[in-house]
Amino acid sequence: MLSTAADVRALVVSPDAALADAFLDVARELGVVLDVSGGQEGVPQELGREKYEALLIDFDRVGDALASLAALRANPSNRNAVVFAIATGPAKQQVALQHGSNFVLARPLDSKELRRTLYAAYDAMTQERRRYFRCTAELPVFITRADGTEIVARTSNVSTHGMSICSPVSFNPGERLGITLDLQNGSPHVLAHGTIVWDDKHGKSGINFQCVRPELQKNLNAWLDHEFQKTREGAIRELQKASAATQLDG
């Protein structure tokens, strides 16, 4: 399945291939994209370069499990991820819970319990992904510079807190702008001030929103929620089709 901006992502840190396969079976049902790290080379490098909504860490077989968990909680993008610990025995389970694991499972792993646990955590995982969701969309945006110059541009993506745009002119980092964003769904235009955070000098820029009126922020968030749900549903359908095709081929 092609990855989308709305995909919930999970990382399994374990050298146990059977554990990863068991987790993958349920992840497919939920449309969760899964990465696997053997956990043999210290803190997984994936934690520094990917955004994850869930981490499954094998306290039984990963010697640096606490270091991996600490790295997750210290990473601004991943600190709110749901943590599943595989920990067998009271002592290991207590350590896993004391250091921030949300759910603890023991060996021998029960597939029904794993499924119940993942389904119970799914809403929290989805909500965490939504917080970082950037919707790919070309919408008209009307920009006013400090000197009164008006510019018509188009978005390339939009999030709760900002957007990337394509425009006929370049901007300066730190430049403050007046913004009118047309969501084209019958809602009032989103009116805000924004600050340029980057500009590639080739017509592409990034803007952080500031001073958005509460009722208009609500409209923006509702639109993003709708787009997020559409993207998630489409991704899950594609995953289910791919899974069904694989089973037929088998």
Which pLDDT score is estimated for 29?
84
pLDDT at position 213 is: 83
Residue 179 forms beta bridges with which residues? 143, 192
Q: What is the mean pLDDT of residues 90-109?
A: 94
Question: Is CATH 3.40.50.150 the classification given to domain 135-218?
Answer: no
What is the pLDDT, as a whole number, of residue 243? 58
Average the pLDDT over 5-21 and give the result: 88
Listed by start position, the domains of the chain span 8-131, 135-218
Contact 30, 53 (CB under 8 A): no
Q: Which residue has the tokens 């080379």?
A: 41
pLDDT at 163 (0 to 100): 95
pTM above 0.95, yes or no: no
Is residue 151 scored above 50 in pLDDT? yes
- Of residues 76 and 38, the one with the higher pLDDT is 76
Cα–Cα distance between 63 and 192 in angstroms, integer? 50
Which stretches does DSSP call E strand in 75-212?
Answer: 82-86, 103-105, 135-136, 140-144, 150-158, 162-166, 176-181, 190-199, 204-210
Structure tokens at 234: 């489409």
Q: What is the pLDDT of residue 131?
A: 80
Are residues 94 and 2 in contact, defined by beta-carbon separation less than 8 angstroms?
no
Burial category of 21 from C-beta neighbours within 10 Å (exposed 0-12, middle 13-18, buried 19 and up): exposed
Coil, helix or strand for 28?
helix
pLDDT band at 77 (very low <50, low <70, confident <90, very high): confident
* 11: enclosing H helix or E strand: strand 8-13
CA angle centred on 74, ends 72 and 79, rounded to 5°: 55
Average the pLDDT over each of 30-34, 87-91, 138-142, 167-171 and give the range with the smallest value: 30-34
Distances (CA, A) of 63 to 39, 66, 109, 134, 239: 8, 8, 19, 36, 34
- Exposure of 206 in the CB half-sphere (CA atoms within 13 A): 6
Beta strand pairing status for 204-210 and 32-37?
unpaired
CATH of domain 8-131: 3.40.50.2300
Residue 248 pLDDT exceeds 80 = no
Asked whether residue 41 carries a pLDDT value surpassing 70, the answer given is no
Distance set, CA 36 to CA 8, 147, 167, 206 (Å): 15, 52, 40, 32
pLDDT, one tens digit per residue, over 171-213 is 999 999 999 998 877 777 888 999 999 999 999 999 999 888 8
Q: What is the pLDDT of residues 46-60, one digit of tens each?
A: 887 788 999 999 999
Q: What is the pLDDT of residue 1?
A: 41
Q: How many CB atoms lie within 10 A of CB 87?
A: 23
Handedness of CA 152, 156, 158, 164 (dihedral sign): negative
